[in-house]
Structure 1
Amino acid sequence: MKLKIYSLIAASTITLALSSCKKDFLDQTPITQVGPDVAFADAAAAEKLIQGAYDGMYNDYHIWDYMTNGDVRSDNAYAGGDNPANIQLDLFTVNSTNGNVTRDWNSLYSDIKNCNLILTNVPNIQDAKLDAGDRRKQILAEASILRAYMYFNLVRTWGSVPLVVKVPTNDSEFYPSKASVDAIYAQIITDLEYGAANARSSAPNKGIMTKGVANALLAKVYASKATPDWAKVSTYCDAVINGGYSLISNYDFLWDSNHKNNSEAIWEMQYDGYGGLHGNWMPSVLVGTGWKRFNTPSNDLAKAFDNEGDAVRKASSIKFNNVVSEGWSDSYWSKTSYPYINKYRADDKSDNYILRLADIMLLKAEALNELSAGGWSSAATIINTIRGRVKLGITSATDQASMRLAIEKERRLELAFEGQRWFDLLRTNRAMAVMNAQTDGAGANLNYNVTAGKLYFPIPQDELDKNPNVR
């Protein structure tokens, strides 16, 4: 059997297996992905290919797991619920048979497959319509940005993985070996640079890959490499900051479902209602009654909001309910005041901000602080702008070292439950120190015992069984 990277051409999403739930909230309309039936003949086919790549993203990884991987693995949330795969992520006991690990690998490589079909075939389509207004280049740019994003998630989650950048044509290409982390980052940067040069500056909605998305991802990529290039981070942050985006005035407007595709959004998933082609079921698993919900905010995060006096972002991020009547127990919280994530509120109407301006502004502050010992002062100006929106006073940081911690804290409070925290800890080499110091509400150490070997996911067992070259 050929490697699963290119056997995932089925026209349905992978379903999330959550054991013992009392509500079947995962009944979804199958999402049509690009399949082998597409005729690579004309401009209409090219449009079908790029639309298929976008449609294929509305799977469990992009709806749900991006946040679980970024927040449950960090100090922001506990697994909650009763799903063994999520609990393994929370407790750093993940192994190669973990269902989340397999699902995420499959989802990301399925998305890459869709992009590769575009990048391999669209250059060869003979149709003058594709070259009118640079549409061919735009389609290739969008596919390049999407592929770069998938590989960015793969390399940050697994480290070394296979690097597949074309449609395989022979058996040896169906069984690729793992590429080095450096080679993967080089390909990501190549794809994003092409995207930044050829994508549209604006599009009908924020779900489409634009120059702004490419520049924002380039900033994050250069900050995430083993040796960050802070000059490039700064340059690409500037391209975004000066690219027509602006902070939305009220922080809570980001989450109230009434301000979609707003001025702060750089890239935002586009949902069209429960039961639609792009339905979002995530709010159903975060808040509700009848069974214990998932991704419970941590005591440490709630304390961090309180210690900062950050009432605005806390209220937008965490909702406390009395759940004494619920028939389940919890090891971390009292049921008289039990926390739920509040950033995804309206069932099937929530917006997932994959990228927004505040993230890039804080990354710019980080770059300024790292580029020179005196850069903390310029960084403080940005930090204070972010803090001012949520009615907080100016930062207390007064040097480079204290500003590093101030930026780390600000990113945590600003971006909680947006899938960012774990990757921030990972790229700053703070993951082990922070996680091994975690305590419960009573001050008892949670004994995560995080080691270097636990920082990345293992290759899924079924992939190891099919392809010996990834071992």
Structure 2
Amino acid sequence: MRIKNKLKYSLLALIASTTVSIQSCSIDVVPQDRYAEEAVWADPSTIELYVDGLYAEFKNFQFGLFPGLGYDNAMDALADIMKFTSTVPGNGTVNILISSSSQFSPSSVGLNYWSTGYTRIRRVNEFIEGVRTKSLLSDEEKVKYEAEARFIRAYTYFWLAKIHGSVIIQDDINTYNEKDKQRSSEEQVYDFMIQDLKYAAENLPVNALAGRANKGAAYALLSRVALYAGSIAQYDRKQFNSDPLTGITESRAREFYQIAADAAESVRSLNKYELDGNYASIFTNKNTKEAIFRVDFVYPSITHQYDYGYAPPRDNNGMTLVYGVPTAELVDEFEMEDGTKFSWTNPEHAANPYDKREPRFYATILYNGASWKGRTLNTTTSDQIEGFIQYGVEAEPKRTVTGYYAKKLLDPNNTNLLVNRSTQSWIELRYAEVYLNLAEAKAGLGDFAGSASVLSELRAKRGLGMVNYNNQSSAMAAIEHERMVELAFEGHRFWDLRRWRKAHIVLNGRRVTGHKIESTGGSYSYQVVDADNVDRSFNPRLYYLPIPESEVLVNLGLTQIQGW
């Protein structure tokens, strides 16, 4: 954690980075690469620049990115629904990380957000202090800005907590001490985030500019954070780490589930958001009412490269990067259109596996025979450009190693990927997740009828029938299925498996699979093949990843998480 004292001007570098030029008619000599501190707090437009810069934290995780890994969908590729195609460091770093738990250590954390996160936290705390004590804003404006800042701080702490559990709470710029800061307990960290988000939800407006937090965003994030706390309390039970600061008291599970349920209900009671009846359009329609909080892009100045990274090769004259592709595990999870489970042992299903599937399947997966941008996809072994290739045969195959491509999040109207790049929004908080959070929280509270009703309401919007269950086991089976399908490629699956303490069961000693499709005489055969060339590895101690060794060395009061 880098908390060394700095010159007062350095804390304002965030603003300077978002400003093209600074003009002044003062005869005083003012540094030209930064704002003078007094100028920041005296000018409301400069305060706006400052808070806009704080929101850049959400771009670190857009489209399933993780700082340091640098690739969209990296989070789902750590789980079982996305397979990265490369075998070499860089494009294939995720495959290296999942191949052995020994890839994670204090000297090589693997998922390292510590320095980045605490840099952001320091900036947020500086902003809160400045707004409170130095700005000329009205009391109402001060509260609103602090609410935004605390929303961003909670989001940043949430990532640190998901990785390490027990981290350092720092909420006052005046109490920084680089030599004796110890971790707070995981329970205290979640309480701190919940306190921040409750403040944000109470004080933010119902409506805000796109990309800025509002009341719905604060409640939605609160439902997510509290749900994580409740599930860790329920499922961890100090089984996987002996550090006294990790874990959450099991008896508090109901309390956290209630907070999550109440927050989710608060989002719904705003009557501002709606489940979209057209699932396929949600991720390219900037006006969808499912988007609670999103990151927007505008051509040509602010774009991304999601399409170039994930579209089938012929979308770009036979050459896209194809970082990752859907696994057979995800494909098989999608139901039939009548709500029955798909099964390869069902002769009718096996003969035509892509017929009569649920609407989310056709919006999420590009499969053999799918219509895409005016052509019919051929993912059989006979197509040397877009067809199946066994994982590991080529270091950088840049085509499918599972027989599928990811359709969800792609722009179907983008026909020149390198020139147009991509401008579809990243939806960080989506209304459907609120339904899923509420269903799980209700199940955690023992309200199985209420949980099933919420899940059925979501399924109805996806063209599927109701579900019923009356115990925790069947409730969680239904909820896990819906989260896996509904939230595919939105970065949730890996973290869900971790908070449910199922990652060591689902991911360890397993290989994800694909379907090798061959055409003979006009008919197709489907062979299940490994899409990994070694078993995956998830040691239970990975539920709490180590603090980077360099941070422990510079902070004399900080101890490493036990087990590392």
TM-score (norm 2): 0.69
Aligned to 1:48: 49
Given candidates 101, 125, 129, the residue that maps to 2:111 is 101
**How far apart in 1 are the matches of 2:221 and 2:391?**
38
Deviation track 1:113-134 (CA, whole Å, cap 9, x = no partner) reads 331221121101342xx217x2
Aligned to 2:352: none
Question: CA 1:63 to 1:376, structure 2 compared with 1: closer, same or farther past 3 Å?
Answer: closer
Shift of the alpha carbon at 1:199? Answer: 0.9
**1:230–1:367 contact (8 Å) kept in structure 2:** yes
Shift of the alpha carbon at 1:5? Answer: 11
Given candidates 147, 151, 167, the residue that maps to 2:153 is 147
**How far apart in 2 are the matches of 1:242 and 1:465?**
48
**How far apart in 2 are the matches of 1:428 and 1:153?**
16
**2:165–2:186 contact (8 Å) kept in structure 1:** yes
**1:310–1:392 contact (8 Å) kept in structure 2:** no
**1:53–1:111 contact (8 Å) kept in structure 2:** yes
Amino acid across the alignment from 1:267? F
SS in 1 for 2:138: helix
Given candidates 268, 271, 278, the residue that maps to 1:250 is 278
The residue correspondences of 1:25-64 to structure 2 (distance < 5 A) are 38-39=37-38, 40-42=40-42, 43-54=44-55, 56-57=56-57, 59-62=59-62, 64=64
Question: CA 1:396 to 1:200, structure 2 compared with 1: closer, same or farther past 3 Å?
Answer: closer
Question: CA 1:31 to 1:44, structure 2 compared with 1: closer, same or farther past 3 Å?
Answer: closer
Given candidates 386, 405, 411, the residue that maps to 1:340 is 405
Question: CA 1:97 to 1:300, structure 2 compared with 1: closer, same or farther past 3 Å?
Answer: farther
1:279 paired to 2:351: no
Shift of the alpha carbon at 1:348? Answer: 1.9
Aligned to 2:258: 231
Aligned to 1:75: 80
SS in 1 for 2:282: helix
The residue correspondences of 1:224-373 to structure 2 (distance < 5 A) are 224-225=228-229, 226-227=232-233, 228=253, 229-244=256-271, 245-255=273-283, 257=284, 259-274=285-300, 276=301, 278-289=302-313, 290=319, 292-305=321-334, 307-308=341-342, 310-320=357-367, 321=377, 322=379, 324-325=384-385, 329-331=389-391, 335=400, 338-346=403-411, 347-372=421-446
Given candidates 198, 201, 210, the residue that maps to 1:196 is 201
SS in 1 for 2:79: coil
Question: CA 1:48 to 1:325, structure 2 compared with 1: closer, same or farther past 3 Å?
Answer: closer
1:381 paired to 2:469: no
Aligned to 1:208: 212
**1:3–1:466 contact (8 Å) kept in structure 2:** no
Given candidates 436, 443, 446, the residue that maps to 2:508 is 436
Aligned to 1:22: none
**How far apart in 1 are the matches of 2:390 and 2:427?**
30
Higher helix share: 1
Amino acid across the alignment from 2:267? V
Aligned to 1:20: none
Given candidates 213, 219, 222, the residue that maps to 2:226 is 222
Given candidates 167, 173, 181, the residue that maps to 2:178 is 173
Question: Which shifted more, 176-185 or 141-150?
Answer: 176-185
**2:12–2:37 contact (8 Å) kept in structure 1:** no
Aligned to 2:414: none
**Structure 1, unaligned stretches of length 5 or more?**
13-29
**Structure 2, unaligned stretches of length 5 or more?**
21-32, 67-71, 234-252, 314-318, 336-340, 343-355, 368-376, 394-398, 412-420, 514-527
**2:325–2:402 contact (8 Å) kept in structure 1:** no
Deviation track 1:118-156 (CA, whole Å, cap 9, x = no partner) reads 1121101342xx217x22211110010011011011101
**How far apart in 2 are the matches of 1:264 and 1:6?**
42
**How far apart in 1 are the matches of 2:144 and 2:508?**
46
**2:331–2:361 contact (8 Å) kept in structure 1:** yes
SS in 2 for 1:409: helix
Aligned to 2:168: 162
SS in 2 for 1:458: coil
TM-score (norm 1): 0.82
Aligned to 2:132: 123
Shift of the alpha carbon at 1:79? Answer: 2.8
Overall identity of the aligned pairs, in % = 24
**How far apart in 2 are the matches of 1:437 and 1:402?**
25
Aligned to 1:418: 490
**How far apart in 1 are the matches of 2:362 and 2:100?**
29
SS in 1 for 2:325: strand
Question: CA 1:167 to 1:285, structure 2 compared with 1: closer, same or farther past 3 Å?
Answer: farther
1:458 paired to 2:541: no
Shift of the alpha carbon at 1:393? Answer: 2.5
SS in 1 for 2:125: helix
Question: CA 1:50 to 1:35, structure 2 compared with 1: closer, same or farther past 3 Å?
Answer: farther
Shift of the alpha carbon at 1:300? Answer: 0.8
**1:155–1:181 contact (8 Å) kept in structure 2:** yes
**1:78–1:90 contact (8 Å) kept in structure 2:** no
Shift of the alpha carbon at 1:366? Answer: 1.5
Deviation track 1:245-275 (CA, whole Å, cap 9, x = no partner) reads 11112111112x2x2142111111122235x
Question: CA 1:151 to 1:35, structure 2 compared with 1: closer, same or farther past 3 Å?
Answer: farther
How many positions carry a matched residue from both structures?
A: 441
**How far apart in 1 are the matches of 2:506 and 2:155?**
27
Aligned to 1:23: none
**How far apart in 2 are the matches of 1:310 and 1:177?**
52
Question: CA 1:310 to 1:428, structure 2 compared with 1: closer, same or farther past 3 Å?
Answer: farther
**2:150–2:200 contact (8 Å) kept in structure 1:** yes
Question: CA 1:391 to 1:107, structure 2 compared with 1: closer, same or farther past 3 Å?
Answer: same
